[in-house]
């Protein structure tokens, strides 16, 4: 039996006392945990020490690199075209990957979008796409490469189990030990998978506000800067946009209804905020791929993005023209008085959609594709008494009471006589651009 070169207790103590863990010891800790030598209890103690004491930039780089080294590294060098990916930290109504990937692929850039499923109030991209009849998320590496090499160019699929297995193990532990919010652990978790994926460039959509992982803009900025530094240090051209998630994005929150809204955007329409963010991220991705002057708005408006979407869905056995699931039961909430919508907090709407069945409480739970919420008004809009504000959809009306409970106090209508619609206009969705 080989002798281990370090002791987990020493590594934990070093971080607990605010010290810097030496690189060899940190690499060993990740490897020994992946092998099962370091226990869950010990790694939980280490994660809590990181949560409380933080990590220096070089420590976060080593942690990320050690997590990458725990599994396979993909390479798209043989594709013969630029690859660029996008990652969002997640929010309520965030369906941007759906219109974005095919839009960027219009310009001859390969988009390897390895996505996940939802847990809690933030929806998963794969759950949304699985509401399309026939569409499949599980692709082999060979199928993924073939799809990117072809005229399709874009692929949205599930990440294979071989990428950063240390992260998968640590992520599950953080989820049950109150250490999810530690910025070094979030940054290394996201970036270990993205760097291992092997893309040339990466754009990060880091959200802040009521419906985001990071509610405070300063914390979101710190996370963005940390991740941009990690990507840059690893040779991946990386930028980040800080985006507002205080109000749900778009008008649809759920799965099938978010696909419908994405298709509206691909047809040149859709809600202004979804279109605005799709265009901003597409420009950012194409600039990193060497096409800073690409006319992305024209590609949305002239049908090329829609053609690209249909090709991408068909390549994964989906039928882009098939009807999407619709709910058996609906419940409409109307405006109690005339006025201007002054508030619509994202998080309660995300929780309500989750309670309707659009999300899952446990990883193994199924999602109900037709469940969710459709908004008919947003902050700044004038409404009259009796006008629909939003519609809840579910497979079973028994789900409505708890969803409505989540929404209590989450929205407000100001007096139309004293309030003006312009007084409640939101600022721009993209607040800052962060580069190396």
| Residue 254 · residue 130 · CB < 8 Å | no
Given this model, what pLDDT does residue 214 score?
87
Which residue in 260, 290, 265 sits closest to 276, CA to CA? 265
Q: What is the pLDDT along the chain (436 residues), one digit of tens a residue?
A: 678 999 999 999 999 999 999 999 999 999 999 999 999 999 999 999 999 999 999 999 999 999 999 999 999 989 999 999 999 998 899 999 999 999 999 999 999 998 887 766 667 899 999 999 999 999 998 999 999 999 999 999 988 778 889 998 898 888 788 888 899 999 999 999 999 999 999 999 999 998 888 899 999 999 999 999 999 999 999 999 999 999 999 999 999 999 999 999 999 999 999 999 999 999 999 999 999 999 999 999 999 999 999 999 999 999 999 999 999 999 999 999 999 999 999 999 999 999 999 988 776 778 999 999 999 999 999 999 999 999 999 999 999 999 999 999 999 999 865 544 444 567 899 999 999 8
Alpha-carbon distances, residue 273 vs 95, 259, 378 (angstroms): 11, 16, 11
Active site residue 140: no
Q: Specify if 431 maps to a domain.
A: no
Whether 177 and 284 map to the same domain: the answer is yes
Q: What is the CATH number of the domain that holds 59?
A: 1.20.970.10
Given this model, what pLDDT does residue 90 score?
87
Q: What is the CATH number of the domain that holds 179?
A: 3.40.1030.10
Catalytic residue among 15, 61, 117, 174: 174
Catalytic residue among 189, 192, 234, 393: 189
Catalytic residue among 61, 87, 117, 283: 87
Catalytic residue among 27, 193, 194, 225: 193
Beta sheet of 382-383, edge-to-edge order: 382-383, 339-344, 411-414
Whether 318 and 226 map to the same domain: the answer is yes
- Chosen domain end from 322, 338, 371: 322
Q: Specify if 429 maps to a domain.
A: no
Which residue in 291, 312, 284 sits closest to 101, CA to CA? 312
Q: Specify if 434 maps to a domain.
A: no
Check residue 178 and report its DSSP letter.
T
Whether 338 and 311 map to the same domain: the answer is no
- Chosen domain end from 43, 69, 95: 69
Whether 215 and 285 map to the same domain: the answer is yes
Catalytic residue among 65, 127, 167, 233: 167
Q: Specify if 2 maps to a domain.
A: no
Active site residue 167: yes
Query: Domain span at residue 60?
Result: 8-69
Measured distance CA(93)–CA(345) in Å, rounded: 12
Active site residue 295: no
């Amino acid at each position: 039996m080989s002798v281990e070169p370090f002791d987990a207790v020493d590594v934990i103590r070093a971080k607990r006392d605010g010290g810097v863990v030496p690189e060899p010891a940190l690499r060993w800790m990740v490897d020994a945990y992946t092998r099962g030598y370091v226990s869950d209890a010990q790694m939980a103690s280490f994660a809590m020490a990181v949560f409380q004491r933080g990590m220096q930039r070089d420590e976060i780089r080593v942690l990320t690199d050690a997590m990458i080294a725990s599994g396979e590294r993909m390479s798209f060098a043989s594709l013969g075209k630029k690859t660029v990916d996008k990652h969002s930290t997640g929010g309520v109504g965030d369906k941007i990957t759906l219109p974005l990937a095919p839009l960027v692929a219009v310009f001859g850039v390969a988009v390897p979008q390895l996505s996940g499923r939802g847990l809690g109030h933030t929806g998963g991209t794969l759950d949304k796409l699985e509401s399309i009849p026939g569409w499949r998320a599980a692709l082999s590496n060979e199928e993924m490469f073939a799809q990117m090499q072809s005229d399709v160019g874009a692929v949205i699929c599930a990440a294979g189990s071989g990428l950063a297995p240390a992260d998968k193990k640590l992520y599950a532990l953080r989820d049950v030990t109150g250490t999810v919010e530690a910025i070094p652990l979030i940054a290394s978790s996201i970036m270990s998978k993205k760097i291992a994926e092997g893309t040339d460039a990466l754009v990060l959509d880091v959200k802040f506000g009521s419906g985001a992982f990071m509610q405070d803009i300063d914390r979101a900025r710190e996370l963005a800067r940390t991740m941009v530094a990690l990507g840059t240090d690893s040779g991946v051209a990386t930028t980040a946009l800080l985006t507002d998630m205080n109000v749900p994005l778009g008008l649809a929150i759920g799965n099938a209804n978010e696909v419908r809204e994405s298709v509206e955007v691909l047809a040149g329409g859709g809600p202004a905020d979804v279109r605005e963010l799709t265009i901003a991220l597409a420009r950012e991705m194409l600039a990193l791929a060497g096409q800073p002057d690409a006319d992305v708005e024209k590609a949305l408006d002239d049908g090329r993005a829609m053609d690209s979407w249909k090709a991408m869905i068909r390549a994964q056995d989906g039928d882009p023209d098939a009807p999407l699931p619709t709910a058996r039961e609906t419940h409409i909430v109307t405006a109690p008085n005339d006025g201007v919508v002054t508030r619509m907090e994202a998080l309660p709407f995300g929780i309500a959609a989750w309670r309707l069945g659009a999300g899952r409480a446990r990883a193994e739970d199924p999602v109900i594709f037709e469940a969710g919420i459709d908004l008919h008004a947003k902050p700044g809009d004038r409404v009259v008494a009796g006008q629909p504000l939003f519609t809840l959809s579910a497979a079973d009306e028994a789900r409505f009471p708890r969803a409505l409970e989540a929404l209590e106090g989450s929205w407000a209508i100001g007096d139309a006589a004293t309030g003006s619609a312009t007084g409640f206009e939101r600022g721009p969705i993209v607040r800052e651009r962060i580069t190396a």
